[in-house]
Amino acid sequence: MPSVPGAVPERPVPTGRVATKAVIPAAGLGTRFLPATKAVPKELLPVVDKPALQYIVEEAASAGLTDVLLVTGRGKSSMVDHFDRRPDLELQLEAADKKELLDAIRRPCELASIHTSRQSEPLGLGHAVLCAAAHVGRQPFAVMLGDDLIDERDPLLPRMLELQAETGGIVVALIEVSRERTSLYGIATTSPTDQEDIVTISGLVEKPDPDEAPSNLAVIGRYVLPGEIFDVLETTQPGRGGEIQLTDAIAAMAEAGTPVHGVLFRGRRYDTGDRQSYLRAVVQLACDREDLGPDFRKWLTDFVGGGFGSGSEGGS
Ligand code: UTP
């Protein structure tokens, strides 16, 4: 496990208080989606008809996290506009009696109170989280990555928030991956607990080669962290890829005795971080939609079968 130079981190104690703030690091460069992300933030790419970021804020709000901090960077301030009112557009939609669209554009503004902090340079996820220190203070908080969409029918955060309040430590979300894919994730060294969906974590390693991976349990983009993590991030040195890694700070706290648990997630999740998974996410979510799904599925079946769906006839 990597160690961090500097003072031994303060060991957090259980407070019984459930986190109320969510931090969404969104200052990355989105290089895997260039050129689309040259001027449009990756977080605003539409997944069917909503930006990925709105799904994340909706998930936060349904878990009771109605104070949301977006960590933004250069060229990414349009993300915040999505959560603002648009009186001009509202007036037009009202005049045209387009009630559903009116509700759809108002909804993002009603979900949560949105705050921002700026990461002046993309020095890594750990550094982005550190940019939330002044807003969060010493309380526990959730970190939610915009690339991971968790299906609202399979809530994950409430279980994580509850566990963090009980232990006072760190809680991460884990999924099982095939051995060949360990080099794409942070991988945990775990031992079982008496609860089937919770494991204790004794170590984490960022993107190990399959033959060096301690398990096939991979960390996905949801964390509930104690405020003490900021002290550790202050002294965390750049790690893999020259970036300040959140995984390294978590590993250092684990080494210093902070309890770290993983909640095993077996629900529906959509990765929107690269082109291949993004395309799958859009198709899966479109197929599930009551309004679009039936027609879209039919078209898709025909298209895959090489039928008329492969032609140019559009839909509504
Ligand atoms: P990623 O590495 O997946 O996102 O970081 P990225 O850097 O934007 O995308 P690629 O790899 O170049 O295509 C995970 C999350 O952490 C944020 C990103 O915005 C993303 O939501 N992040 C990453 C920051 O906010 N700051 C950073 O310095 C690095």
Q: 36: CA distance to ligand 1 center in Å?
A: 15
Q: 25: CA distance to ligand 1 center in Å?
A: 7
| 94, part of any domain | yes
| 9, part of any domain | no
- Residue 301: pLDDT over 80: yes
Please give the C-alpha separations between residue 225 and each of 179, 258, 285, in angstroms, as whole numbers.
27, 11, 30
Taking Cα atoms as reference points, which of 252, 185, 170 lies closest to residue 216? Answer: 185
- Ligand 1: which atom is nearest the Cα of residue 26? 19
pLDDT digits (tens, 9 = 90+) for 123-155: 999 999 999 999 999 999 999 998 899 999 999
- Residue 315: pLDDT over 70: no
Q: Report the nearest-CA residue for atom 22 of ligand 1.
A: 28
| 6, part of any domain | no
Task: List strand residue ranges (DSSP E) for 28-96, in order.
Answer: 46-47, 50-51, 67-72
Q: Report the nearest-CA residue for atom 25 of ligand 1.
A: 27
Q: Are residues 300 and 177 in the same domain?
A: no
Answer yes or no: pTM beyond 0.75.
Answer: yes
Task: Provide residues with CB under 6 Å of ligand 1.
Answer: 25-32, 42, 71, 119, 122-125, 127-128, 145-147, 273
Q: Are residues 208 and 236 in the same domain?
A: yes
- Residue 70: pLDDT over 60: yes
Residue 283: give the domain boundaries: 275-310
The predicted pLDDT at position 1 comes to 45
The predicted pLDDT at position 311 comes to 52
Q: Considering its fold, how many domains does the chain have in total? A: 2
pLDDT digits (tens, 9 = 90+) for 193-249: 999 999 999 999 888 999 999 999 999 999 999 999 999 999 999 888 899 999 999
Q: Are residues 37 and 145 in the same domain?
A: yes
Q: Report the nearest-CA residue for atom 4 of ligand 1.
A: 28
Other Cβ atoms less than 10 A from the Cβ of 111: the count is 17
